[in-house]
Structure 1
Amino acid sequence: MEGELRTVIDMSNAGIVILDGDYNIRFTNKSASELTGYQVEDLLGMNFMDIFSAENKKVIKDMLAEHRMGENIRSCSELEILTAQGNRKETEICITTTGDSNGTGKIYAYLRDISQRKMSEERLKMTEEKYSLLFERVQQGLFISSREGKFIDCNQAMLDMLGYKDKEEFLSLDIARDVYVNPEDRRIFQDLVERDGFVKEYEVELKRKDGKRVTILLTGNIKRNGDGEIAGYEGINTDITERKNIEHELRKANDFFRNLIDSSVDGIIAADIKGNIIIFNKGTEKLLGYKAGEVIGKLHITGLYPPGVAKDIMRKLRSQEFGGVGRLETTQSTLVDKDGEHIPINISAAIVYEDGKEIATVGIFTDLREKLKMERELQDAQLQLLQSEKMSSLGKLAAGVAHEINNPLGGILIYSNLLIEEMEDSDPKREDLKRIADEATRCKEIVKSLLEFARQTGPKMEPIDINRSINEGLFFLENQAAFLNIEIIKKLDLTLPLIEGNSSQLKQVFMNIMVNAAEAMEGRGALTVTTALQPENNSVLIEFSDTGRGIPPEYISRIFDPFFTTKEVGKGTGLGLSLSYGVIEQHKGKIDVRSKVGKGTCFVIELPAKHENSAN
């Protein structure tokens, strides 16, 4: 039985020693030997006090002194022992005494190694201290809350974020009612976190104590109790109010600049370094006919220019000659619209840099079509004024010359005809005199034309149907030999209004132009006569287009000058078009000519329309 008891004692994890009244060890087990580092035989006979460090000997002595022989007392303490190797070891020591009626008894000491537990406790304490330090020092607001809607704990950053100084006051708040701007957001958070186990960066607005709002990103997870049930939530609140304000201001600034760009009447285009279009404002939409969505990120910038032009612009942008490197001062260029039409524009451009690197190019484009049109109209008006002044001067000159020549011509005609009548038909001089009379007659016709050209009084005006005047002129001409092989194409607007004019003079102008056309086509080709109303300036447009040989460019500016003609000598006076110019001018109209050598000529006449009923 004693052997079995010894075996059980040796199996104990606790070191067991039995002391006598002088605290000498009378019995020990293997666990005590392993704990102290002494062999069992070395422990037997040792004084129990010798295994303790000097600072702990008094403590253990006091403990032993409290246990009087004969009383059943048990006490425990945690003390360091000194092992046989001189190492210190944390040990839990429990002492009990037993006594009998004879007053004899024994002291039992139980020793258990608690080094690992003490180390774990120390680590836990350090971890808790670190957690507590982190909990308080972290910049984000940390919280633990219950499902019922109360805060269980929070850090200082959470208090500062929401403007509270008293933590107890904060922990007493109803979260949904007192903290959330929209209480429904608290329920949404609960649904999300309980469904998924966590929530990441849930954006929500909270109320500060002073009533101001803060925007936070809430990241949290559920907390469970010992039974695995959801007990509450813990989370981190990151204040993004300042970031949201900055984002709002950036959006406002972007909206302002976007509106500024879109409000520009000029076209504004920006492209990244690869040439992909990234800005295409409304001014450019109107200029080129594209919608921004059709080109942004879809069309390369070179697609908006004629071949080679975009490359030339980039060359100038990187040159010093055109405004400095990275800048292009206003210069004229060309864009291509959605329909392929070339649009004259002024462009000023710049390279956009970021940290010294090119990131984009931006250009501002001004539509020059209206400006160039106005310049042409001004030039035409100046030319017309010059032509009018020239015609006026030439008219006065022609009138004086005509009057001076008319009387001598009359004498030549009278006396030459008298001499012809007196001569025999066989007289060889008769033919010479007849030639003199014919040339004098031709000169008289020229003088007559000069006098008509120089006439200062205006023609009698009345309502005229332009289509009728054209048809009457064609009726007179189309059976003449020069028109027999010419195709006459009429494109007459039958809704034309009447004009105020002199029918005879205008008919003569139309016939003169059509005869010139027939001669230019040398009796074979097509003559197209077109009439139309121009509502924008309430005028009637008349065009005579032929397929003749055309007029060389150097002659165009002189075509309406008196005595200028491209016909052979003796086949024209050179007064027909100048007289036509004068007639149209007297009718407050305009006459112009377009021509291309080898393709044909088009005379364009504009006459002001009456404000009354249209012609039938």
Structure 2
Amino acid sequence: MKKNSYLLGLYGNTSICYQSLDADGIIIDVNNKWLETFGYNKNDIVGSWFGDLLRSDSRDIFKQNFSLFKSKGIAQEVMFDIRCYDGSYISTIINGNMSYDYFHGAVQYHCIIEPKVSNQPTYSHIFNVSRVPMIVFEAETKNIVDANPAACHFYGYSYDDFTSKCIFDINIDPEEMVQGHIDSILREERSTYLFMHRTASGHVKLVESNPSALQIGTKMYVHSIIVDVTDKVRAQDGQKALSILSEKLIQARIDIKEISSIVLDFALLLTESDDGYVGSIDEDSKNMRIHATSKMYEQSIGNEPVEEIARSSKGIYEGLCGHSLSTLKPLICNTPQEIDCLARSRDKKMLAKNHLSFPVMLNGELAGQIAVINSKDSFSDKDVEILSEIANLYALAIKGVKEREKDILLDELINNMADCVAIYIPYGDEDFIFKSLNRSGLNVSGFELADVKGKRLTHVYPGFENSPLVEIFKEVWKTGKPQHYPLTQYIDDQHSLYVENYIFKIHERYLVAIYRDITDIVNTTKALALSEEKYRSYMENSPDSIIVINKDKMIIDINSAACDKFEYSRSEFLKMNIKDIVPEKCKGLVDENVKQAHDNSEIVATHPHISKSGRIYQMEVYVKYLPDGNMIGILHDTTHRIEMENELSELNAGLQARVKSELEIREKQDRVLFEQKKLADMGQMISAIAHQWRQPINALGLYIQSLVSDFESDTVTKSDIADFRDDTLGLIKHMSQTIDDFRNFFKPDKNKTEFNIMKEISSVIKLIDAQLAMKNIKIKLSCECRECEMCADFMDDEFCESGYTKIYAYLGEFKQALVNIIYNSVDSIGDQMSDGKIQTGMIDIKLKAEEDNICLYIYDNGTGIPDNILSKIFDPYYTTKPEGKGTGIGLYMTKLVIEEHMKGKILASNTSEGACIVIQLPS
């Protein structure tokens, strides 16, 4: 900031222009010479962005390069056009330096500005001082990028407003037309154009434009010099303006609103009026639709414009200007008065200094109206003549729009037809020229429209002159009578194309041919005929009765099988109601079946039918509702089947009694065998208890002998008596517990209980361990769960208390099933020992508690199970033991207990040493 003060002091009162900008291009300060040169007050420009004072092209250069100035720190000989306070521009050359802070951050940009000196006037000077309006717009975007002060004054816009618009905003011609002129300018086809431009005040000016195309970089611009020729055209009796209007109305395919807007602008221009409107008559309602209103008139209406002037039932149009519509005569009034504003609110009025309305006539009928209001001078006969000429042009334009609308509608209609449509124009007496071919015709023929339009028919289709269609074309053209001509074209030996041709004449100008591919229709008709033949063949050859009835249940078709079954002739049947072949008590079922078939499309029912001779048939009836409202019924005679079913039912009833009796006998036999098995098991258990008791009894004998001997030798002490008591009572308690275990083992189960399977297996082993030991068979029990793994001594009473080995089942049944498996292993081990293959038997019981179940694995080193009987060992009455030694009940009963009573699974398999039984139980 100190440097800035120093430089401002240095340049403050010199003849050199100085300015300083901040790092964003904002003006910080300027000296007196700068203010004097460009005409601003300091307060007006300090704080402004420097780019806002530059012409658009200079502004773009400044915006794009200011960051480069900051990084380089210097700018030399840079040219900018700076806008003065009066709107003119001065071309300048700027040199400057950037000052930085301690961290090399840009702080200020100090500039010395010198006006560009040249012996020749610069473009910028000529552009700005010229009194002729000049504008520049970009050819692609149509945006106005520059305008000189004369243009701003002529159009009534400020420079900023003007350069925010595009060329369409001031040119009232349709955009399509304006774009065509711009393309012509870029091609340099013409040097002068006449346009109608609207100023900021809403007035229309007829201007002569002298444009030239400019290329700056990669962009194209149009520089246009504008000359106001409005007064000049008026001085020529308006004929040139009318000629221009005529040219504009036929130059482009524009709609009625655009046409009306152009007509209104010319009417206002040539009558020197401020306000007005233009509209056309709606063919259906006869009301007049308003298409264009002047800008000042729109301001009077506000936000409540009406779209039409209504016509009463007596043919009277409302409003003051409606008089000329009602009388079909011009109305001229030079007396000030209030008139309707064509607003929805009837109280909206505007003061008209004068007004002139003119009806537009077409072919003797009212077609529209042109109304002008508030002329500069009084309206005269000359103004009426001008409006008359404009009205004639407007009428022709309306006619053209209507014809185009009809053509568009016809083209749209024809193009969207599925049939091929071709329109021809006669060519001499022997040929025709394609005027048009619709989209379907192009798709079928494979042509583009350009391939056929304007071409002779015989050139597009060589050899067509020999086709019979040519003669039909000629006859239709000559007589005007439409003709229909079917044609078959053979594609190959197996495929044909069937075409239907309809040829007619329209407007005495065109011949229209509609080609319809009816191949599918012909093929469908043939298929239907074949289908009908097949249908009749199926009906007549069907073994079932087939009857077709109408909605009144009257029979309308019948096959031979039905005639034979019910003993009526075809002619008799066709006079009958379907209820006539149903017994009286079943007639209600017919109504119900018909209703159900109607509601559900189809049904199957069974009920009696009666023949002419009174014979009753049990019929299974399939009823189908047909699309035409009729119903077809297929009647299958089930009389014999029902009789057989009744007989079968009687046989089944007797068979069920016999089966029940046999089952009861079998169950009794099973119960006997189960009891026998239980007694056999009891015998084995008694044998086991005998082995269990042998050792304690021997021990008791020894204790007694020892006590007697000590007594005789007088060496018995009180302590010996106590020891004898404890030892003998322990042995007696053990023997008593064995009796309790035996009794509990065979106690019948009444209810399921929760028990620790590990503990109960151990109790079973305790009963039979001594017996197994006598046979030199060792038994081992181990348990594995999620928390521990243990090998239990079944003589102990300590078991895993985690609860993972608990199940809910019938305890007695489980123990008996376990004993069956163990004794099967004992028998198998005994056979293996007898053969001398092993000396010591081994039964390994492993218990594994898993997530949702408990698995029990019982391994032995016996003979194993032959593979060919592995799947049979759980079958009832199947045994591998010699006759008299096995019942085949043990393992069957075990499977029954495990799988049906305990909801588990039991499997058998072989191992390398013997067999393995796996039991899986839910935990």
User: TM bucket by the smaller chain?
Assistant: 0.3 to 0.5
Higher RCO by CA contacts (8 Å cutoff, separation 6 or greater): 1
TM-score normalised by the chain length of structure 1: 0.35
Q: TM-score, normalised by structure 2?
A: 0.25
